[in-house]
Each structure stands twice: as C-alpha cells, then as structure tokens.
Structure 1
Amino acid sequence: MSYITKHKEGAAGQPLFLTFHGTGGDESQFHDFASQLLPQAHVISPRGDVSEHGANRYFRRTGEGVYDMDDLATRTKAMASFINAEKAEAGADTAIGLGYSNGANILAAVAFEQPDLVDDLILMHPLIPWTPAPQPGLKGRRILITAGERDPICPAPLTKALADYLTAQGADVTVHWHSGGHEIAQSEVTAITDFIGAR
C-alpha cells in the first residue's frame, strides 16, 4: 500500500513519529506539530486514501459513526504494513502515533491488531463503536486519549468505554477531557506536550 505522505528525516536512533489527520484533513494537518514536539524524530504523515465526497479518510463508513467493518479490516492491515515498512526505513526501534478523529480510529485499529508496532499512542477524539477483542499485547503501552465532554461526533460514554477497555488490557492510559465538543482545545495541546515530555 502506498500513501501520499509528508516526510521529515530525523536523527539516527530517534523514534518514528506518525501522524494521522481527521476527516477532510491531509498529511500536513499535524506534521509540523509532531516536528515541534520531537524535533529530532523521524516524522511521517500519510494521507487517507479513501474519499468521502472529496474528504480524505482512512476507511469507509456508511453513516456518522457507522463503519464499513470489512473495509476497516482491509485498510487496518494495509496501514500496519505501511507503519512496519516506515519503521524499517527509518531504522527506528520505537514509534509514536498521533491521530485525530478518523486518524485516531485507524491508529487504534492498528493497535488492536498489531500492538507491537506503535509504542506510544495519542488518540484525539477517537470513536470506536464496537468492543475490540482482548489484546494482551497492549500491556504497558502508553496511551493518551483527549476528548470533549460534549463532543457530538465522539460521545463521551464511548470514549470512556475505550479507555476502560485499554486499561483492562494493561495499557498505561491517561484521559484528558475539555468542556467543549469535537474541536481541539488548547488544553489538549498542553496534555499532548506533557505526554511526549514524559517519555
């Protein structure tokens, strides 16, 4: 699988930082943000290869919060292969993933299937409307979830269910809430900065 990407080569021995945009975003949405967070890291940002009425996405859906699960499975496998290849290309032993909304969902889906690929995950406003199978490989993974208490797209109960699932798998989960909706609040940026700084 090949994606249109934005790429920054980092220093030898530094982690690979992957960023995944939200619906309608592109490879530039969080690329520079990742570079600011970890200036020495390799940064790769793939553009979703699904078009929803012209909006870039990482997998198909049939309605708001209604996923094409077969398509998600296919594209999760493809994304996992992409991440594996990029880690090898960068010579990176560790990887960090940051995704927003649809980007958080594909990142989480990869972690459910191949938890060894990404060590630290930043899931901004994820929406996982199913109960993933148990995944002991998530044990010890550092995961930050950021969310809005009144997010109409990613309802708070589903965010809490995802956090509970990840905690039950033994992941090191931090959840940051802001009082708004689906927008990215400044407090999220601070929480992400702190999460990366604690590595």
Structure 2
Amino acid sequence: MTALRTADGYTFADEGGVGSGGAAPTLLLFHGTGGDERQFLSLAREFMPGARRIAPLGDVSEGGARRFFRRRAEGVYDMDDLARATAQMADFVAARVAETPVSNGMERGGPVIGLGYSNGANILASTIIARPDLFDAAVLMHPLIPWEPTPRAIGTRILITAGERDPLCPAPATKALARWFGEQGAATTVHWHPGGHEVDRSEITAISKFLERERERAAA
C-alpha cells in the first residue's frame, strides 16, 4: 500500500518495506518536469518488487509544472536554488534511509538506489556529486549537468540513458557527464537510443537489466 507523507520539505509516496534481514533495497524515484510522485512507481514495482520505494514531489512550480529546482531558461539553472535543493534533497534521502528498519544486528539496511528522469535525473546527479555516500547505485535518464563539478571520489554505480538526438540534453553534454563520473571512480555505463528526450523502450530494457543486477548484488 502506498502512503503519502510529508517530511523534511517534501510530500512523497512511500511504499514497500525491508526484506529478510533488512537487506532489501531502498529505491528513490525522481520525476521529470511536470511529473509527480506517481510517475515511476508502477515501473519500480515491476523492477524491484521487494524494495522500499520512495518518490518525492518536486517543491518548485514552473507555470504549474513541478520541478526540484528553479531554472532561468532551458539548460540555464538558478545555481543558488540548485544548491538549496541539493542540500535539502541530501537531508531528505539521509532521513529516509535512517528510518528504514534494520534487523539481525546489521549496521545498515540494503543498498540505496536512485532513479530519475530529466529534472529528476539532474537533482539526483547533483545530490550524488554533493554526497557520494548516499547512493550505492543510480539510473540517470536524460540528465544535463551544464557545469564542471569539483572532482571527488565517487563509488556509486551509474547507468545513464540518453537519446542521440535529444534537443534538451545534447549528446556531448551526456558524454561529458559520463566521462566525469568515470574519472571520479564511478562504474558508469551509458545506454543510447536513436531518438530524442522521450523514454525509449530500449532504455526500459537497459534499466531493467541494471536493476536486476542490483537486486542480485543485494541478495548475495
């Protein structure tokens, strides 16, 4: 059953729970511009049925469309608001992970995995860059990070999915982000499809395989 909760600056959907020994994954879902906390829940149920699934609703409105931080134009971010949103999201994620029950004397529960699309991928990427300790793995669907982050060690396993003709997230920017993550030590894979900003069926397949490997890793 899905519970709708409000805490730490966000309204969010919260469903599922821990599995045997508290080792079930916690899966955080971040919607794209104009989406909401329900956008990826059904997909997450299919791909990670045993996970705790948490999906915050963006706290910024752009002409009625929900986002996680403000922008001044397409691809031009309000960097002050991005800093605000990144710190707030990091605190939110840490609080949700801390409240997940742990059993059998384990020091922590299962892996923490993020999945975000477009604006949701951007706040997820920014949070990973700021707090690499929070996420064990992440799926970034059509991300755009139009600045050069400060180098730091990142151990997160990352799948980036993108369109070769995406007008909102140009291929060179995607390649630059993937290269940057790799240079920081993150195991990074990129899946391309021949289209634009839409989510292609091949992306869903790539994400399914990535999350299946994460499930197997958690069960091992």
**Residue deviations 1:61-102 (CA, integer Å, cap 9, x gap):** 000000000100011000000000000112334200000000
Structure 1 match to 2:15: 8
1:68 to 67, 73, 78: 78
Is 1:18 aligned with 2:25?
A: no
Structure 2 match to 1:116: 133
CA RMSD of aligned residues (A): 0.9
**Residue deviations 1:115-149 (CA, integer Å, cap 9, x gap):** 1101101000000000111011x13x210000000
SS of the counterpart of 2:10?
A: coil
Structure 2 match to 1:196: 211
Gaps of 5+ in 1: none
Structure 1 match to 2:50: 40
Structure 1 segment 5-154 matched on structure 2, within 5 A: 5-12=12-19, 13=22, 14-91=24-101, 92-136=109-153, 138-139=154-155, 141-154=156-169
SS of the counterpart of 1:181?
A: coil
**Residue deviations 1:142-168 (CA, integer Å, cap 9, x gap):** 100000000000000000000000000
SS of the counterpart of 2:35?
A: coil
Contact 2:18–2:100, Cα closer than 8 Å, also in 1:
no
Alignment partners' CA distance in 1, 2:110 and 2:193: 33
SS of the counterpart of 2:203?
A: helix
Structure of larger gyration radius: 2
Alignment partners' CA distance in 2, 1:178 and 1:68: 29
The amino acid that maps onto 1:45 is A
SS of the counterpart of 1:166?
A: helix
The amino acid that maps onto 1:8 is E
The amino acid that maps onto 2:12 is T
Is 1:157 aligned with 2:172?
A: yes
The amino acid that maps onto 1:11 is V
- Please say which of residues 83-92 and 124-133 is displaced more in the overlay: 83-92
2:188 to 133, 153, 173: 173
Contact 1:87–1:93, Cα closer than 8 Å, also in 2:
no
Q: After the TM superposition, which segments of 4 or more aligned residues of structure 1 sit over 6 Å from their partners?
A: none
Determine what percentage of the aligned residue pairs are the same residue.
Answer: 57
When the two structures are aligned, how many residues end up with a matched partner? 197
Contact 1:18–1:43, Cα closer than 8 Å, also in 2:
yes
Alignment partners' CA distance in 1, 2:39 and 2:183: 32
SS of the counterpart of 1:198?
A: helix
Alignment partners' CA distance in 1, 2:86 and 2:45: 25
Alignment partners' CA distance in 1, 2:52 and 2:176: 32
SS of the counterpart of 2:88?
A: helix
